[in-house]
Each structure stands twice: as C-alpha cells, then as structure tokens.
Amino acid sequence: MNPFSQYIKAIGKGQRAGRYLTQSEAHDAFDQLLTGRATPEQAGAFLMLLRVREESVEELAGFVSACRQHLSDDYSHINATVDMG
C-alpha cells in the first residue's frame, strides 16, 4: 500500500466512520502532496474528501506547518523596489 493511501483511507470512510487526521498525520500528508510523492489521482481524492468532510483545526495546523517547512526566507533573488510614500 502506498504510504499516502493510508490518509485517503482514514478520511474516506464518511463523516461517521471516518476520522480526522492528527496534526502529525496531516503534516506528513501535505508534505507528500508538496513533494510529489502522492499521485495526482491521490491528491485529487484527498482534497475532495477534505472539501466534503471539512478540515479540523489539528489538520489545518498540520497543513500549515508542512507549507512553512517548504517556504524560503531568502528573497534576495527578487529585484523589486517598494516605495512607501
């Protein structure tokens, strides 16, 4: 079984039988989405299931932490001038 499929299985059982992901699981799932380790079909299924079921606070925190992990603070490559008036 693909490591990502465990997350689809967990949330894909419906609102009653399914469960919310822990913050750690949500972080790992979103990290797999961001790094391309999940197939496009898996990504689509996962995002649609979240849309139908709605995300928990723990899941959102995990998604945000995964995104932050992939952000860069180095903006030196951007050549822009900001006039603050």
Domain that holds residue 33: 5-69
Mean pLDDT of 62-68: 95
Its pTM stands at 0.79
Paired tokens of 20: 């919310």
Tens digit of each residue's pLDDT (9 = 90 or more) over 12-63: 886 677 799 999 999 999 999 999 999 999 999 999 999 988 899 999 999 9
Please give the pLDDT value at position 81.
78
The total number of structural domains that make up the chain: 1
CATH assignment at residue 22: 1.20.970.10
Mean pLDDT of 51-76: 90
Torsion of CA 6, 50, 72, 28, to 10 degrees: -20
Asked, for residue 85, whether it belongs to a domain, the answer is no
Asked, for residue 42, whether it belongs to a domain, the answer is yes
Please give the pLDDT value at position 2.
73
What amino acid occupies position 39?
A: T
Paired tokens of 77: 């490559």
Question: For residue 32, which of 58, 70, 61 has the smallest C-alpha distance?
Answer: 70
